[in-house]
Structure 1
Amino acid sequence: MGRELQVRVATPEDLEWIHELRHRVYAEELGQHAPDPGGRLRDGLDGDNVYLVAARGAARIGFVSLTPPWLGRYALDKYLTREELPLLDEGGVFEVRILTVEPRWRTTAAAPLLMYAALRWIAARGGRQVVAMGRTELLDMYRAAGLRPVGRTVRSGALTFEVLTGSVSGLTKATTDRYRTTLGRLAAQVDWRLDVPFAPAPDGCEHGGASFTAIGTDFRTLQRRHQVVAADVLDAWFPPAPGVGAALAEDPDWAARTSPPAAAEGLLAEIAAARALPVEALAVGAGSSDLIFRAFGQWLTPESRVLLMDPGYGEYAHVTEKVIGCRVDRFRLRREDGWRIDPARLSAVVGSGRYDLVVVVNPNNPTGRHAPAAELRSVIAAAPARTRWWIDEAYLGYVGLAESLADLAATDPRVVVCTSLSKMYALSGMRAAFLVAEPVTAARLRRWTPPWPVSLPAQLAAVAALRDPAYYGERWQRTHELRRRLAADLAGLDGVVTVEESVANFLGVILPPDGPSAAQLVQECRRYDVYLRDLSPLSPEYEGRTVRIAVRDSAENARIVTACQAALAALRPGAAGPEAPAPVASGVATAGSAR
């Protein structure tokens, strides 16, 4: 069977049909609106809404309308004030409207397909909550789909609607559970033209980037690493210190077959010496993800309330929301504020006393901004005693280790600092990290640490790396120079993109509202074996238009610029090339780089 059923973002040609179908259904059939002599029903949000269309061959069969939060207004604003419906002021709320299907197709899978497409599109833009108006007589159907009434009723023409809401993850689960067989069949039949994969990743999270998949996760085609530019993960562009290679090369057979020190005693002692910290305040793990899962699993329950920065490193949302099931709030960072953490506003939010844990990645990934240590110390000092702070300093070396809060963490039971050795020390493949906590807290975590948490090669490498601060200081400085050059070259691409520099080993590229989406640019660059990261799923603050690019060496940075230039040209309206972007095969990126 051919892929005759198609789902796409509406084209200008589709809009006339949408206006005509809306008139037939909502004016003539349902009496919600007065008939229009021209037989068209338009909307004040038409210029800003996103319409998704389902078609079979040349016949359009249905559509659904989406209103993203960055517009600052919703259709519901016509009926209710924000005081009456405060959820509209929460971050990440998308309005889903007027799911409409041609009469002859209403008994088919068209409506479920459009509902599913809307959820996938919203998830790809970082949406967390959906709001909708549902006809009162169909309330049971909406409940079965996972929506719940908020207790507000709206009258429009001859119809009465309930205001409904639901989480994107919950609605996606309800839809995939209820229509699993149908969706499985449609996956093989539908011509999916959206810039988001048809199916979500198995656990709803992509850990790391897609570049290793291009190299080959079965390790049979490792020579591909020389062709692939892995700028979708934030691994260092430089090699580890010379002493690392020497330590691993001295007797690799022995290092491979020998059990390491069971509690990584030598590594702990080296960290304590290098950072002037008491060894009893330390715990080590196989990367910071190991420490995050282990610590949060001990401290948090589904009843815990957690505050995350938004945008922020996606692994924290994954662990707290999807693994543990905590109640998670977001502290919204704004592009117009330079993504800065406003200490006064953060103090006011945390001062409520309702948070068990506040997570701050500093410098922040993916915004690339750094909050001065003095500001964070003041906020923490004024915070309630019951609130624990987790400070992730994976990229701090690019700012300066003097900005660390490790000394505070070693004495204050409310503060924990986590430091990955992956990004700063070019040891991502080794999997080594440590955290700093008041000794009683650190001891509890060590009790829940299995023996041999860090492999012998990783311990040897980490110790050697920590013994060569001069080498890494020079590499961090060189990274700044490479980043500035890459930023200047990208900013010169026909003036169509805006570049946001960071303080670390990456930068952001913002596409114009009338240009391609971030997902389209990422997908097109893969034709040139250049892998970038679409930040859209991390937060609606990115509006589906921001790509993160890791700093590589000069040659690979040049390939990145060339690929972006070619991709933007291919995606320009009217450009020769494929009618639509190649189908997206990988899962939605939500977590960020491996730590």
Structure 2
Amino acid sequence: MVCDLQLRTATPEDLEWIHELRHRVYAQELGQHAPDPSGQLRDGLDGDNVYLVAARGAARIGFVSLTPPWLGRYGLEKYLMRDELPLLADDDLFEVRVLTVEPSWRATAAAPLLMYAALRWIAVRGGRRVVAMGRSELLDMYLAAGLRPVGRTVHSGAVTFEVLTGSVTELTRLAMDRYGTTLERLRSAVDWRLDVAFAPRPDGCEHGGASFTAIGTDFRNLHRRQRIVAADVLDAWFPPPPGVRAALAEDPAWAARTSPPTGAEGLLAEIATVRALPTETLAVGAGSSDLIFRAFGQWLTPESRVLLMDPGYGEYAHVTEKVIGCRVDRFRLRREDGWRIDPDRLSDAVRSGGYDLVVVVNPNNPTGRHAPVAELRSLIAAAPARTRWWIDEAYLGYVGLTESLADLAASDPRVVVCSSLSKMYALSGMRAAYLVAEPATAALLRRWTPPWPVSLPAQLAAVAALRDPAYYTDRWLRTHVLRRQLAAKLAGLGENVIVEEAVANFLTVNLPTGGPSAAQVVNECRRHDVYLRDLSPLSSRYQGRSVRIAVKDTAENARIVAAFHASLDELRPDPVSLVSAPRSVLAAGSAL
């Protein structure tokens, strides 16, 4: 056991020691490389790798280096071509390299902790697979961690390595199942200075909504909500209309103690009327997450093949991969394409993929991009008959309800539309949503719906909301104005800060390399009671540098801009360190 061990990202001062320790171990001790007169061993990826360092007091103990996929090259490519090791072409592959510990510390927990730190760093940057070269004589240590040989052996000097790989989900599950008790003991003994949480959430999914922890989930200090800017969740900035508030206020005691209509019949009838849909094509749930879990649990098995957009709403990956265990592929959206869906490329992927389900969030969360309804209709028409399409329209009001595919879903058994009444209608706390499917599919889901799925207050509020379309149209239009104003203010944070504004009630801020990570900025903003969302866990495409911000009212938007500005100032590296720092540390972008 190692107490008082510090885990951190490498500082400029660490780099000389890293090069010197490398030389002592890999040149002098192991004979992998020829000795160098300088007494230091450098690598071609030094300028881009990320280094995690273990130290105790002033004594540095060990380090591990990480090569992220956005560099476009890996250390392994010095030994194997991509056609020899196809996993090197994976978009979410992180390479773990040269785990090295000082000789006097090799019998301690230092090496396993560095491996665990690397896994956590990769997981929160959207990594889904790791690859590593493990020395053959240490193979048991890597196998115990969950890595598995790929059948390739690499010889370098006098050292033989096994090429190993593992999925981040499985490695994390194994770490928590096998070593969770030990890790929990270490949590209080380790000075964890990385910009990631020490442990994942118990269910393995980053759902968002950390702002409520500042208010208090025991509900004893709800007055704290007055000082918190909750821009990490995409709740509406505006209140529900007067009709909703009147419905909830008329007799709250009765609404609280009274069982609701068993099958939400009145809510279903109102949805059918407002959306011009047959009632038999509808099913309701306590929010879209309820419908996702229920429907996917009925349709999918571990043998099912699913295609998700990437970046995309994290709940879909959680349900399909971690809850059901489906075989999931990603359709990569590209920043250079403005994160828009390329219909021809998606059509090719669907026709050749043999998918049971394709999920499209439209407008997409977190990119905010909208795919025109005509394009989606064409895509679906050209897709194989076996492929079901799940269209999530939680933010469609910000584009226009005429862009809905609900009418197609009501008649085509391959299409299901899910629509939340939370985000667009300022009813997130009520938990109400509905889906549209052809009658047989909708009937099956209603059969698997428990009685009283939506509370009476939620049904009252949802019905009143649907009866006031003019109010919401006005608020949706006002949201566009507020978003543009917020984007303009955030764009003034610096020429290297890129603001991506789309069509929904949120936007994205991309931070430059060489500065603080998204996690650092998000954590610093919390000191100002401003909560934002680090998008890093959703996709490696964000490179750990993208922050999503929900549009709020004018006053709260001003607080967001002020907190963001103050955080960047607080986290800005010392100019003296920048002048003297090697390029490798600047590229790592998270010197603490």
TM-score of the aligned structures, taking structure 1 as reference length: 0.95
Cα contact 1:353–1:384 (8 A) shared by 2: no
Cα contact 2:248–2:457 (8 A) shared by 1: yes
C-alpha deviation, 1:76, in angstroms = 1.0
2-side partners of 1:161 and 1:106: how far apart?
Answer: 19
Deviation track 1:229-280 (CA, whole Å, cap 9, x = no partner) reads 0000000000112111111122222211221111111111111111111111
C-alpha deviation, 1:208, in angstroms = 3.4
What amino acid does structure 2 have at the position aligned with 1:17? W
C-alpha deviation, 1:137, in angstroms = 3.1
Matched, 1:147 2:147: yes
Matched, 1:310 2:310: yes
Aligned-partner SS, 2:352:
coil
What amino acid does structure 1 have at the position aligned with 2:97? R
1:268 alignment counterpart: 268
- Structure 1's 489 and 3: CA in aligned 2 closer, same or farther, altered over 3 A? farther
Aligned-partner SS, 1:423:
coil
Aligned-partner SS, 1:422:
coil
Matched, 1:23 2:23: yes
2-side partners of 1:20 and 1:205: how far apart?
Answer: 39
Aligned-partner SS, 1:443:
helix
Cα contact 1:353–1:387 (8 A) shared by 2: no
2:421 alignment counterpart: 421
Matched, 1:235 2:235: yes
Gaps of 5+ in 2: 577-592
Aligned-partner SS, 1:366:
coil
What amino acid does structure 2 have at the position aligned with 1:201? R
Deviation track 1:420-463 (CA, whole Å, cap 9, x = no partner) reads 00010000011000000010000000000011111111111111
- Structure 1's 2 and 45: CA in aligned 2 closer, same or farther, altered over 3 A? closer
What amino acid does structure 1 have at the position aligned with 2:571? L
1:8 alignment counterpart: 8
- Structure 1's 326 and 561: CA in aligned 2 closer, same or farther, altered over 3 A? same
Alignment of 1:549-560 (within 5 A): 549-560=549-560
Aligned-partner SS, 1:570:
helix
1:220 alignment counterpart: 220
2:132 alignment counterpart: 132
C-alpha deviation, 1:138, in angstroms = 2.9
C-alpha deviation, 1:2, in angstroms = 11
2:112 alignment counterpart: 112
1-side partners of 2:181 and 2:416: how far apart?
Answer: 46
Deviation track 1:95-128 (CA, whole Å, cap 9, x = no partner) reads 0011000000000000001000000111110111
2-side partners of 1:328 and 1:79: how far apart?
Answer: 30
Aligned-partner SS, 1:449:
coil
2:533 alignment counterpart: 533
Deviation track 1:446-497 (CA, whole Å, cap 9, x = no partner) reads 0000111111111111111111111100000000000000000010113341
2-side partners of 1:199 and 1:333: how far apart?
Answer: 29
What amino acid does structure 1 have at the position aligned with 2:126? G
Aligned-partner SS, 2:515:
coil
Matched, 1:300 2:300: yes
Alignment of 1:165-564 (within 5 A): 165-564=165-564
1:123 alignment counterpart: 123
What amino acid does structure 2 have at the position aligned with 1:213? T
Moved more, 239-248 or 56-65: 239-248
2-side partners of 1:104 and 1:308: how far apart?
Answer: 47
Cα contact 2:2–2:110 (8 A) shared by 1: no
TM-score of the aligned structures, taking structure 2 as reference length: 0.95
Aligned-partner SS, 2:100:
strand
C-alpha deviation, 1:155, in angstroms = 1.7
Gaps of 5+ in 1: 577-595
Moved more, 284-293 or 170-179: 170-179
Cα contact 1:432–1:458 (8 A) shared by 2: yes
Aligned-partner SS, 1:199:
coil
Aligned-partner SS, 2:206:
coil
Cα contact 2:2–2:108 (8 A) shared by 1: no
Aligned length: 576
2-side partners of 1:290 and 1:298: how far apart?
Answer: 13
Runs of 4+ residues over 3 Å off in structure 1: 1-4, 176-182
- Structure 1's 182 and 480: CA in aligned 2 closer, same or farther, altered over 3 A? same
C-alpha deviation, 1:205, in angstroms = 1.5
1:585 alignment counterpart: none
2-side partners of 1:25 and 1:81: how far apart?
Answer: 27
C-alpha deviation, 1:353, in angstroms = 4.5
2-side partners of 1:173 and 1:396: how far apart?
Answer: 36
2-side partners of 1:181 and 1:411: how far apart?
Answer: 52
Aligned-partner SS, 2:424:
helix
2-side partners of 1:379 and 1:139: how far apart?
Answer: 48
RMSD: 1.4
Cα contact 1:256–1:457 (8 A) shared by 2: yes
Deviation track 1:327-370 (CA, whole Å, cap 9, x = no partner) reads 11111111111101111111111102421111110000001101
1:41 alignment counterpart: 41
2-side partners of 1:177 and 1:54: how far apart?
Answer: 24
Aligned-partner SS, 1:349:
helix
2-side partners of 1:524 and 1:184: how far apart?
Answer: 25
